[in-house]
Structure 1
Amino acid sequence: MGIFLKLAVGASLLGTEAAEAAEEGGFGLNFNILEANLINLAIVIAILIYFGRGFLGKVLTDRRSAIEVAIQEAEKKKKDAAAALADEQQKLAQAQAEAAKIRSSSETAAKSAAAAILAKAEEDIQRMRETAVQDMGRDQERVIRELRQRVVALAVQRAESDLSSRLDQSRQHQLVDQSIASLGGF
């Protein structure tokens, strides 16, 4: 307690000297050890160092431990993040490989589907050609049959008209009699 009293008295003396120096118009330093209370200040600093060293050392040790723990946690998080990144990059590579595989198989499937469609289209075209040829053959036969029927009808019509103009009644009897005689003679 005496030390604190001396500090208080020393501080007040310093304050009065500084006030006196300021009143005189300047500022000055007092190098008198006893008047300036340098001994008291040295004792207070020594006591603070002696008693505060444990407290301050504990605070600094705790702070250092907290910093070390934070650094270790940060390093662990960094390692975890690096592992997660590597895992995700591996998954990405697998996904890209799977996408390339799917793309390749879809291209192959598309090519085979296109080839199948072209083959089917070619087959359909060939069948249509054959059907068209058959239809044309039937149409041609029908047209020829119709033409024959017309030619026959025209020939019969012409023969009838020619016969009717060239045959008279007596000539018709004579032809009928000849035809009967050639059949066996009734």
Structure 2
Amino acid sequence: MKNVIDSFVSLGHWPSAGSFGFNTDILATNPINLSVVLGVLIYFGKGVLNDLLDNRKQRILNTIRNSEELRKGAIEQLERARARLRKVEMEADEYRMNGYSEIEREKQNLINATSNSLEQLENYKNETLQFEQQRAINQVRQRVFQQALQGALGTLNSCLNSELHFRTIRANIGILGAMQEITD
């Protein structure tokens, strides 16, 4: 076991011309290790991520449906208001002959109030959609980060023991000392 650990920690490398061996150069193998870890995370995290996104999608769709129902209710109110407006317009024509202008002001107030209500409902729907989308994205990011962190900690805890950790530190100190001697 000691020889296997020493072969991974040592600074030298085996000649690769025509033979097979392990590359112990940490800087050369790090991108390969990272790509393997990322591949495993993507493979196993894809299902969880898809479930989270599907759940969030359903919530957003429900919010959209609720907003559409509110919109339909507002449209119904608008239709009732338009019917009332037509009625008021007929009465206004009658009163206009008599010189009354109060009906005209009431008509404008009714139109403005209904228009404002529709604008507020539309703005509320858009804000709700944006808020839910941002919240979904933040939750997915947080969960992916937590899962990646837990996986990395689990891998580190299962692979490192104190003896291997101290040997790695000593080897790296030796590398730094050798590099310092070369630069001097």
- TM-score normalised by length of structure 2: 0.36
Report which structure shows greater RCO (CA 8 Å, sep ≥6): 2
Larger C-alpha radius of gyration, 1 or 2? 1
